[in-house]
Chains A and B, each alone.
Chain A
Amino acid sequence: MDWLAGAWAVFRNDLRIELRTRYALNALLLFALGALLLILFAVGPQPIPTRVQSAFLWMVILFAAAVGLGRSFVAEERQGTALLLRLNTRPSMVFAGKLLFNLVLVGSLGGVSTGALLLLLDVSVARPGLLATALGMGVLGLAVATTLLGALVARAARRGALLPVLLLPLLTPLLVSSVSATQKAIQGLPWTEAQDELLTLVGFVGATLSAATLLFDYVWAD
């Protein structure tokens, strides 16, 4: 109960700061939409195969998250509030709170970019449930990885393009499975066809989530 309250407080605080400026969310969404439009302009008005459609979608989500997320830890380190957090809360609370916040960000990112892609390409999804599951698992895995790696990157002195460099190769299994599952959802294949992908996604999210929960203590502690 105490733990939940602490995690919730961390989340609420981040959300409050975010809602005051809406910087991260706006940057994220604009980046995703801009990238999506640019890709579609570059491809031109020809029909795009479903495999390529789902690949576009996930590339945009991945790159937007890699560029836009992980800000919150950097902000803490810069303003010195990290010390206050370290004194008052346990690491796992901070991790849960930040994870929840990133989940909200990536979730809206995923929802908006999927909606935009479906609208722009005039795609009708034959299996919305499968699409939502794939999207949800992908977003969860993405949020877990960005939370832990964001905390890592915040400790680095020279940040630059560090988060994408670390994040993108690690998320390759996630990308491959979610692109494949998304494609099957658009095509309307039955759930049993996407079984491999979904199980891989579940396993990946479970493995990364437990590893990140265990490892976060070491990143956060001084």
Chain B
Amino acid sequence: MTLHPLSSSDAAPSLRPQQARPDTAAAYDSTWTEQSDARPPEGLERVMLPDGKIYVVLAVVLIIWIGVVTMLFRTDRRIDALERRLDQDIPEDPA
């Protein structure tokens, strides 16, 4: 409660509205309104938007798949290094 001891007479929150931090999502969606543009989609949009944007889902799944495969390859490299180390350490091992 001690944080706001000032009475409401001081309250002038919107003196300089043009400088206030935007408190709505409006600051982030300046581009939304352009959606009604009738321009034909080009480039990436042409690839991704048809069929209800299903290709976005495909891209996301592909990215995750690539991530998991990268992980797999890194594990593989580690196993290689371990095998080399084993060969160095016990070259005369009969087994």
Contacts and interface: CB of A to CB of B under 8 A. Distances in A.
Assess A/B contact in the complex (Cβ within 8 A).
Answer: yes
Interface of B: 3-6, 10-13, 15-16, 19-21
Interface of A: 49-51, 180, 183, 187-193, 195, 198-199
A50 B12 CA distance: 17
Interface of B is mostly: loop
B4 A187 contact: no
Contact of B19 (A187, A192, A195): A187
A149 to B, nearest CB: 29
A180 B6 CA distance: 19
Given A51-B21, A180-B21, A187 B3 contact: no
B6 to A, nearest CB: 5
A191 B3 contact: yes
A113 to B, nearest CB: 22
A127 to B, nearest CB: 9
A198 B5 CA distance: 14
- The 3 A-B pairs with the shortest beta carbon distances in the complex, nearest first, are A192-B4, A191-B4, A190-B11
Contacts of A189: 12-13
A49 B22 CA distance: 13
Contacts of B21: 51, 180, 183
Contacts of A190: 4, 6, 10-13
A106 to B, nearest CB: 23
A46 to B, nearest CB: 15
A158 B50 CA distance: 53
B3 A195 contact: yes
